[in-house]
């Protein structure tokens, strides 16, 4: 094996090994939040999710009429459930998690949902 062939072989191995480093680390989670009936409620949800961190949460989009929020996040540093739990602790039922009742009681009446 010549040095040129050996060098080419090493280069190919380095490129293949490095390709795994460029995986997409962004994911989007859809949150179904039945009590998010107004822009004020959406603001509370945005604040709760934003507290997780700017370097982990990339984008938050909401549709108040559909009562849904989409969060783009770093899936290497954060799990989907962490986002749901943050919304739960803000007082909202989200996806399959019930609202934290203490936090829910502190929300404005329009954001509490059915009592």
pLDDT of residue 90: 97
Break the chain down into helix, strand, coil percent, rounded to 5.
45, 20, 35
pLDDT at res. 23 = 67
HSE of 54 in the Cβ direction (CA atoms, 13 Å)? 0
Domain range list for the chain: 24-111
Per the model's pLDDT, the better-predicted residue between 102 and 112 turns out to be 102
pLDDT in tens, 46-81: 999 999 998 999 999 999 999 999 999 999 999 999
- For residue range 15-36, what is the model confidence (pLDDT) as tens digits? 555 555 556 789 999 999 999 9
The CATH code for residues 24-111 is: 3.30.70.100
């Amino acid at each position: 094996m010549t040095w040129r062939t050996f060098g080419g072989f090493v280069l190919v191995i380095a490129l293949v090994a490095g390709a795994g480093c460029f995986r997409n680390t962004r994911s989007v989670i859809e949150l179904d939040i039945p009590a998010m009936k107004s822009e004020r409620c959406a603001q509370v949800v945005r604040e709760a999710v934003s507290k997780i961190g700017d370097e982990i949460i990339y984008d938050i989009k909401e549709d108040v009429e559909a009562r849904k929020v989409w969060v783009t996040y770093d899936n290497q540093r954060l799990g989907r459930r962490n986002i749901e739990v943050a919304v739960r602790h803000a007082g909202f039922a989200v996806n399959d998690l019930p609202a934290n009742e203490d936090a829910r009681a502190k929300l404005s009446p329009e954001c509490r949902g059915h009592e």
